[in-house]
Amino acid sequence: MNSPDDKNMYFIVESPEYTRDHNVGRICYIEESKYVSRFKLDNPTTLQVKMIGSCVDTFVKVNNIQPLSVQEAQLLQALGDNEARLRAFKDREGLDQALRLTKDSRVTVEVDGKWCQGVIRYIGPITRKIYPDPITGTFFGIELQGKDKGKGQHDGQYIGERYFKCSKDCGVFTPFTRVRPGAPKPLDPPKPLQAPVECLAAGERVSFFTEDGMHNGMVVALEEENNKPFVIISVDRIEKGDKGETIVLPLENVIREELLSPGPSSKTHLDVTGPLTGKTTEVKEPIHLSLDSVVEVELNAGKTVYGTVRWIGRLPGVEGTRVGLELEEPTGVSDGTFKGERFFNCPPKRGLFVKLDSCRPDSRFQTPGGTEGTLSTTMTNKHTARNGALGSVVEGSVAPLSSERALQVLEGRMRGVQGHCNSCYMDSALFSLFSCSSVLDSLLFKATKQQDAPIQTTLLQQIVNPLRKHGFVPSENVMKLRRQLQDGGHSDHTFTTEEKDPEEFLTLLMHRILCLEPLLKLSAGEKVQESYCYQIFLDQNHSLVLPTVQQLLEHSLHSGGLRLAEIPSCLILQMPRFGKKFKMFDKIIPSLELDVTDLLSESPRECVLCGVLANCECNECFRDPTFGSTGFKQFCESCSHKVHSHPRRKSHQPSRLRLPEGYPSTATHHSAPKERLQLFAVLCIETSHYVSFVRYGPGAKDWMFFDSMADREGDQDGYNIPTVWACPEVGRYLEMPLAELAAQVPREMDGVAKRLFCDAYMYLYQSPRMALYR
């Protein structure tokens, strides 16, 4: 992928250089010899580098760049968009997977928004290097396979040059972000196993699992690669007329079909391993399940228990296949052990071992069109959660969803965080904070008190990670967090039953439990106030009618005599209201960016008239329409003298501005950096029900709407259906002129846009620069 003569070192620009945001996400390089000699002389704070695509040397701060290998730089350079490149760099799992891909690897590739099966036939550049750039992007040439043949764009040629051969419209060239590892590559020709494999033989029926769920097939042959056994399987036909396909899987990923499917019978008996006795139930068809399936088991006296599959296999001294369940309630008989031997882990009295065919699909998650006899980690209609989402524990670290994957993972019914028992305040807050943003990910990994570690683990492994990986968090996971918050003595006994406010939950989590440093520090003269959220207050003299969030924040800070003591990594703003039901404004215009430069207590600012460095500020001029309706009014010495020479302003008393220590007082306006925060989510409330909007990408229409209780299946014993859907109409309204937007009748606004403009309760902003250091 790279030339051995390449003597350069490569970096990606990760943080902005003041206002030079256009370099963020670009690949830059420096000759290795220059880099070494530079660091031999001293410990430099800047480096002179070249950006890919530019002939001009550029100085960048060492702290603002991250090193790359040549291969990583080539993979990332294939992404034409700087923001996409930076997101891909931060998703280390995806980049590492791409580095491990080789020719003839089986993969899935995104083509026109759908994932198709294919085999890598080429890895390398498809565009010529442009002088003086030392590298160009690495692309993957993929031949589509099976049912996806004919969905490509070429036969292995690109701009008249051939890179590999395949049938017409079966070839695709794509960057690594649209490629996922698939099944192991086929062996050509198959190599016979050197030693017999007693567990399987040609002609036997087997089952295996993929991202689509469970599949069945017949063993065609056995082979090995690098002394590792593989099974060649003829997959069962899915639809009439489908020829099926042959795939190759590692032996450990395959199980005999009979172990997951009891023989057909009209009746079976429940045999609970433990003191509980069974009751006869009818089974209409074979049952299939996997780990993390959610099931129900009917006990004596018509009592039904619910649980999650944690183990499948054979118990010592017991005939037949058994299932180890972790029950929702402490009505079991063990903690995952049987006769002193541990098979899985769960709390005491939550473990239960039952026959495989005693389990039924959890009826609370069934829909009228569901397949009653199938138990998989996906729920039974086509809009349900992804594999492993229900009741799952996802360990490790999962990156926030990128703009390319957000809708793919989250959009639809049974998506997002499932609501239950007045949990909408928590559901919407968790979805907003963690689905597409990493600004508060420090909450998930920071050191915490031993007694609070289980709360942090639940938040990470059972809420944030499943949301980002599967796009769904079941209500029992959220209820577990609510119980932990309540049982730990951090809140009153109503935390699992009654409605709360998002700010109450967030403050409890960040301050009292995980002890996160306050997000917001406000300067009031010589004193500094700290908090996690900021409630906007307005005095009675304001003249705002259709305000922006920028105006509301400025007026609130002005009326309270407050300034920001430092740039917050995350700014949580509560809109002005009289309680939950009464709003101060019929509409509030979202500010996609908050310019906080002039809101900082010690920051260089520009004169609002001439643009040079300001040295004084006038509070009385704040409301003077002569200088505009937005922003604090600061002036240089000359402009202040002219402004306050006017008879109407002679009584004003401007105050001196404080500059950061060491900042040159003679600096021009070009030296004053702009500090901006980006909007990433909005929580809204209507009739005591919270929903949220999330801005999942940089585009004007990259908005999605989330409601944890959008629909319901069943009555008292039913369940809520959380739903996420795209709402590009929001972007259209945000681009309207102010007068046109003001004239919009809320009930006539398209889609869910009315909720954003009329029901906003809390705005969430993040600093892309400061979030990296929290």
Decide if 444 contacts 504 (C-beta within 8 A).
no
DSSP label of 611: -
Give the C-alpha separation, 165 to 245, whole Å.
22
Q: Is the bond leading into 132 cis (omega within 30 degrees of zero)?
A: yes
Decide if 657 contacts 599 (C-beta within 8 A).
no
Decide if 367 contacts 713 (C-beta within 8 A).
yes
SS (H, E, C) 531-569: ECCEECCCCCCCCCCCCEHHHHHHHHHHHHCCEECCCCC
**What is the C-alpha R_g of the chain?**
30
Q: What is the tally of helices (H) and strands (E) in the chain? A: 17, 45
Q: How many CB atoms lie within 10 A of CB 301?
A: 6
Decide if 556 contacts 538 (C-beta within 8 A).
yes
Give the C-alpha separation, 105 to 293, whole Å.
30
Distances (CA, A) of 384 to 144, 312, 428: 28, 24, 19
Quick one: 586 exposed, middle or buried, by C-beta within 10 A (0-12, 13-18, 19+)?
A: exposed
689 catalytic, yes or no? yes
Decide if 697 contacts 645 (C-beta within 8 A).
no
Quick one: 26 exposed, middle or buried, by C-beta within 10 A (0-12, 13-18, 19+)?
A: buried
**Strand-pair category, 171-174 with 582-583:** unpaired
For residue 115, the cross-strand partners are 110
Give the C-alpha separation, 218 to 58, whole Å.
61
Strands (E), 251-303: 255-256, 267-269, 280-282, 294-298
DSSP assignment string, 69-122: -HHHHHHHHT---HHHHHHHHH-HHHHHHHHH--TT-EEEEEETTEEEEEEEEE
CA atoms within 13 A of residue 272's CA, in its CB half-sphere? 22
Give the C-alpha separation, 195 to 21, whole Å.
61
DSSP label of 669: G
For residue 765, the cross-strand partners are 571, 679
Q: Is the bond leading into 189 cis (omega within 30 degrees of zero)?
A: yes
As a residue count, the chain comes to 774
Decide if 403 contacts 699 (C-beta within 8 A).
yes
Alpha helices (H) along 435-498: 442-445, 453-459, 465-470, 475-487
CA atoms within 13 A of residue 730's CA, in its CB half-sphere? 29
Q: Which residue has the tokens 């009289």?
A: 578
Residue of 288, 470, 558, 689 marked catalytic: 689
424 catalytic, yes or no? yes
Q: 249's torsion region: left (phi>0), alpha (psi -120 to 50) or beta?
A: beta
Decide if 68 contacts 76 (C-beta within 8 A).
yes
Query: What is the greatest pairwise CA distance in the chain?
Result: 102
Residue of 28, 116, 166, 424 marked catalytic: 424
Catalytic residue set: 424, 689
